[in-house]
Structure 1
């Protein structure tokens, strides 16, 4: 089945990609590479252990259900939609039900009711917009209560493809709203630190544990004189580090830097005051994070202010930076030529990339943490306790969730569909083609290369998989804002980060302006409504 899925999916996406008039050999080579990657991802999943034949559909614990027709809407993820469309026959064969897959570029939030679909796969950040409008229904216990008899249903004891094997922060935080589970996860990446392992060896350095070490290492890597024979050629573009600070990402990156500073065990709410919704964005954790960011990036601001995570990833493999903040991806959308004026990346089949003719060896690490954290109650910095995690991941930077709408007359069947797509091998192969997902289950650890770019050797892909499992199992986390109006709030923060990095405003002054803008946004959208949404986003 997976072999036919691979061929058919590649044919559909390849046809769509080839529809514009080709522009020379580079465009044709890109199309061939896209087809190869689609097939490769499906084969990676096929090499994993198959789903037990005795339990093909999650939640199928009762008598057979009558045939129903389901309409699945996939929002702003064409590669994932095309891949899922190829699974309609398998779904019909196993259930007797039919499936229609449709696409939209965005949700119509101005509508009087939910989308014209039984189920929707949407960006993780949009769960708030759907939930606050009461457009979606909770996930039933038949999906979430899949603990094996005599076990607790976690770790190795969890059933493959079941709920309990999903990484804890994804199933318990991202899929939840208030005290209810409202979504089925399809993977949610966290920002990850890429390091040039060869350069770190040359400098006698290790991946940074905190942001002060990161800043120091960025400065060392920026100095070509310290890199000896590994230095890029004179005149070639070179950065000590590169961060995604383009539109839609600068504010998110600041929140990721501030997360370990702001997430104190006594600070249940780190971004807004819980009762008044007064923004805390101009407080010491965020000011320190922005000051450090300005210092770390120095004179290279222009390179960062245009980049998203995919741009940063390509720059790294092109040999243009010593560190990079991004995440791995095998997505079709990411396979495109580097911007003009940059060096070409390695061939997709190689295990190592070459930038400026030199081998690039990668190591991956979690984002830096902090042994100091700010206590809002005492208005002071405190050392973290020895047993506390120094690293605090930022959730909701991307990701995909599946939800069932209140329009659906067969909610149990719709949830079974989403759980089947999320849990069985070919469905996860479809999710891996999205640029906004990553591995999210224990069983994904067996075939991690389905989620990484082809430059990753097998051992490094396995390291990334374990790193992601560790990150998404941590005790503390912070969301990249999960409430209505998220785009407006982050756009204001983007502008402040850009102004500070360009030297147009001091970090504190820039963040004070953000506070004023956020208060205006909250007032316009409704204080009570926003407070309720924010509380729900925190699990209250």
Structure 2
């Protein structure tokens, strides 16, 4: 049996032959017009929000599987200092074919028509292969496909030793107690500037009945009691860590070096086979909102989008297929996104505990929407600053979240409630 590879399927879907019908002598002949060979010397223009090391790895990996030239413009962002400028990204979209941007930028880029929805058979092949949570929580916006994910940096609770059955069903309070009583502070979670808000939101999943804002009025709900309790519990636990401020990379490295007994993070490099780490669900709130959704993606999760000014649509779709897990991308993805597969055809290719854990997590299409607002970067920065103030003891949890709410209201007043409601409804799967 002849096996058609995924790359061939994408190529066949992306190529159209023009048919011209000629009539004469009571006979209909079909003449197929020749199709000009695609130009591969014109670079595919990619704006990449990330690091130069990632761009270098992509250029090396892509050149080994394709003759299509690429030119990557790297936008380096230190998330502890700032968020990407939406004005800069909107301008860069004018001279780009593809943009790899944080998820929280998709709503505004789509609303300004700087990026376009992804359609056609080639895209259908990719999206139908995405794991359910990646398709519903990242790729889709307003009922349409706007982004193709290539990573899923969901945090797990890692243990550097064999875990017990009790470890599989910890509440956040029990986790905090174990940090102090059993692990002597040798644990950690992402709490540095730029990461604190994401960790706070991950802690809030399952307890908050109203996610981020009201769907009817866009009034912020982040000062509701479940959020206050989640932040206060976070503050108490962070105070027990031997090293209160850590990034995901620092926690991951310390776990592999067996300096920590437990840690909340995701792989940021290839796992050390000798570390023998085990992965489990994050602790759960003591009181649940009964929500079916048990995961939400970080607003900083990067995904590939297509510029409205794209001049090489077919080549762009081939690149999207490759970077999201297409043939020949494995070594590059280990450099750019050493987390897990995001597509069913690549699932179970890794036997690491994290890969097995997250494959199961991504098997459900039910997710909470990310922070896809207009000016989302400003909302995120305000929340991150408030969470940091609480963790630093400068304010109580209630005071910090009240301050964040006030900042959110000011941003909404400037942007407009109706504009934000349309964006938020689209983030929730509606066409607004």
TM-score, with structure 1 as normaliser: 0.67
Q: How do 1:142-153 and structure 2 match up within 5 A? A: 142-146=121-125
Question: Are 1:442 and 2:339 an aligned pair?
Answer: no
In the other structure, the counterpart of 1:321 is: 260
In the other structure, the counterpart of 1:176 is: 140
In the other structure, the counterpart of 1:288 is: 229
Which whole-Å CA distance do the structure 2 matches of 1:428 and 1:115 have between them? 31
In the other structure, the counterpart of 2:320 is: 418
In the other structure, the counterpart of 1:518 is: 408
Deviation for aligned residue 1:538: 1.7
1:478 is matched with which residue: 345, 368, 378? 368
Structure 1 pair 517–329 and aligned structure 2 pair: CA distance change class (3 A): same
In the other structure, the counterpart of 2:58 is: 84
Give the secondary structure class of the aligned counterpart of 1:528.
helix
Which whole-Å CA distance do the structure 2 matches of 1:523 and 1:90 have between them? 50
Q: How do 1:56-455 and structure 2 match up within 5 A? A: 57=11, 59-60=13-14, 62-63=16-17, 66-68=37-39, 69=42, 70-89=44-63, 92-93=66-67, 98-105=69-76, 109-110=86-87, 113=91, 114-146=93-125, 162-198=126-162, 200=163, 205-223=166-184, 239-262=185-208, 264=209, 270-300=211-241, 303-304=243-244, 306-330=245-269, 351-353=273-275, 361-370=276-285, 372-374=287-289, 384=290, 392-434=294-336, 438-448=340-350
Deviation for aligned residue 1:464: 1.7
Structure 1 pair 205–373 and aligned structure 2 pair: CA distance change class (3 A): closer
Structure 1, 168-177 or 415-424: larger mean CA deviation: 415-424
Which whole-Å CA distance do the structure 2 matches of 1:490 and 1:253 have between them? 12
Structure 1 pair 502–71 and aligned structure 2 pair: CA distance change class (3 A): closer
Deviation for aligned residue 1:253: 0.8
Which whole-Å CA distance do the structure 1 matches of 2:6 and 2:215 have between them? 46
Deviation for aligned residue 1:299: 4.3
Structure 1 pair 481–436 and aligned structure 2 pair: CA distance change class (3 A): farther
Which whole-Å CA distance do the structure 2 matches of 1:90 and 1:178 have between them? 36
Deviation for aligned residue 1:539: 1.6
Which whole-Å CA distance do the structure 2 matches of 1:468 and 1:247 have between them? 26
Structure 1 pair 53–242 and aligned structure 2 pair: CA distance change class (3 A): closer
Structure 1 pair 330–115 and aligned structure 2 pair: CA distance change class (3 A): farther
Which deviations, in whole Å up to 9, do the C-alpha atoms of 1:278-334 show, x marking residues without a partner?
A: 110000220121122123233448x32x32211222232343332211101327xxx
Structure 1 contact 240–321 (Cα < 8 Å) conserved: yes
Give the secondary structure class of the aligned counterpart of 2:187.
strand
Gaps of 5+ in 2: 18-34, 78-83
Deviation for aligned residue 1:528: 2.8
Structure 1 pair 130–54 and aligned structure 2 pair: CA distance change class (3 A): closer
Deviation for aligned residue 1:476: 3.3
Structure 1 pair 399–429 and aligned structure 2 pair: CA distance change class (3 A): farther
Structure 1 pair 465–50 and aligned structure 2 pair: CA distance change class (3 A): farther
Give the secondary structure class of the aligned counterpart of 2:153.
coil
Deviation for aligned residue 1:497: 2.2
Shift >4 Å, 4+ stretches? 49-54, 87-93
TM-score, with structure 2 as normaliser: 0.82
Give the secondary structure class of the aligned counterpart of 2:215.
coil
Deviation for aligned residue 1:367: 1.3
Which whole-Å CA distance do the structure 1 matches of 2:107 and 2:338 have between them? 18
Structure 1 pair 108–510 and aligned structure 2 pair: CA distance change class (3 A): closer
Structure 1 pair 244–480 and aligned structure 2 pair: CA distance change class (3 A): farther
Deviation for aligned residue 1:130: 1.6
Structure 2 contact 137–365 (Cα < 8 Å) conserved: no
Give the secondary structure class of the aligned counterpart of 2:410.
helix
Which whole-Å CA distance do the structure 2 matches of 1:504 and 1:72 have between them? 42
Which whole-Å CA distance do the structure 1 matches of 2:397 and 2:417 have between them? 27
Structure 1 contact 168–473 (Cα < 8 Å) conserved: yes
Structure 2 contact 100–305 (Cα < 8 Å) conserved: yes
Give the secondary structure class of the aligned counterpart of 1:71.
strand
In the other structure, the counterpart of 2:29 is: none
Which whole-Å CA distance do the structure 1 matches of 2:385 and 2:66 have between them? 49
Figure out how many residues of one structure are paired with residues of the other and give that number. Answer: 400
Which deviations, in whole Å up to 9, do the C-alpha atoms of 1:344-394 show, x marking residues without a partner?
A: xxxx8x6324xxxxxxx42111212347334xxxxxxxxx3xxx75x7112
Which whole-Å CA distance do the structure 2 matches of 1:171 and 1:491 have between them? 27
Which whole-Å CA distance do the structure 2 matches of 1:92 and 1:503 have between them? 53
Give the secondary structure class of the aligned counterpart of 1:241.
coil
